[in-house]
Amino acid sequence: MIWRLAFATMLVLAAADKRSGYQDASPETRAMQDDDASNPGFLWVQQGETLWAERTGNAGRSCADCHASIRGVAARYPVFDARLGRPITLAQRIQQCRVERQGAGPLAPDSDALLGLTAYVGLQSRGMPIQVSIDGPARPFYEAGKALFETRQGQFNLSCAQCHDGLAGQRLAGSVIPQGHPNGYPEYRLEWQGMGSLERRIRNCMIGVRAEPFAADSPELADLELYLGWRANGLDVETPAVRP
């Protein structure tokens, strides 16, 4: 009984140590995120809301025809897909529904349309804690993602963990190095002057350390996103976040 209480206390302390990238952003950037009228990510959300209600594909169905409520959905992705035998991200689930349920073609990765739909779904979970599960068959993929996070890569021989664990809170090129939690994606990044996915951020980081980036929608990216999602458990969904 005592060890269970101790373990529970450790979990609470670990959760308290987590910092959203919002906390490391400048006051001006936080103000932009806080005001829906000023948050540029809502331009994509509005597009996603339109697409959500639009009937498309051979089935002539809209997302809204099947899904009456999507509150809390984004907070639990990535999830293990039993039929595919692997984890999939929220964006991949949207693509799956388009192809299999609507009879429509898949959207291009990181296209405005896919970002808009993903951001619209994410917004419905804003303020809810992330609750990504790594139980059962998801566990090996979580372990694979954790290994990727900790593996040194590229000509700079750096791992994700070296920056986002070891150097979090310090500065790189004038910006605070965040803990790397994905609770705001898709998010509007000032450096991009546009909306982007977590996959894009990961690929950019790999290019930054001069490593060969994973292909779009690769299993490795889904594994890494599963680990990152679990690592952020307890933080609130902030979609659409604004970051430097």
pLDDT for 94-117, tens place per residue? 999 999 999 999 999 999 999 999
Domain enclosing residue 234, as ranges: 19-243
In a domain? residue 12 = no
In a domain? residue 203 = yes
Kindly tell me if the per-residue pLDDT of 193 is higher than 60: yes
In a domain? residue 6 = no
Catalytic, out of 63, 160, 163, 205: 205
pLDDT (0 to 100) of residue 5: 40
In a domain? residue 43 = yes
Written as six digits, the tokens of 81 are: 């897909």
In a domain? residue 5 = no
For range 213-237, the mean pLDDT: 96
97 is catalytic: no
Element (H, E) at 156: none
As a whole number, the mean pLDDT across the chain is 93
In a domain? residue 4 = no
**CATH code, domain carrying 55:** 1.10.760.10
Q: Please, what's the b/e burial string for 120-142 (b: 16 or more CB within 10 A of its CB; e: otherwise)? A: bbbbbbbeeebebbbeeebeebb
Among 123, 74, 130, 129, CA closest to 239: 123
Domains of the chain: total: 1
Kindly tell me if the per-residue pLDDT of 156 is higher than 50: yes
CB atoms within 10 A of CB 62: 16
Using alpha carbons, list the distances in angstroms from residue 163 to 102, 171, 182, 198. 42, 10, 15, 17
In a domain? residue 65 = yes
In a domain? residue 2 = no
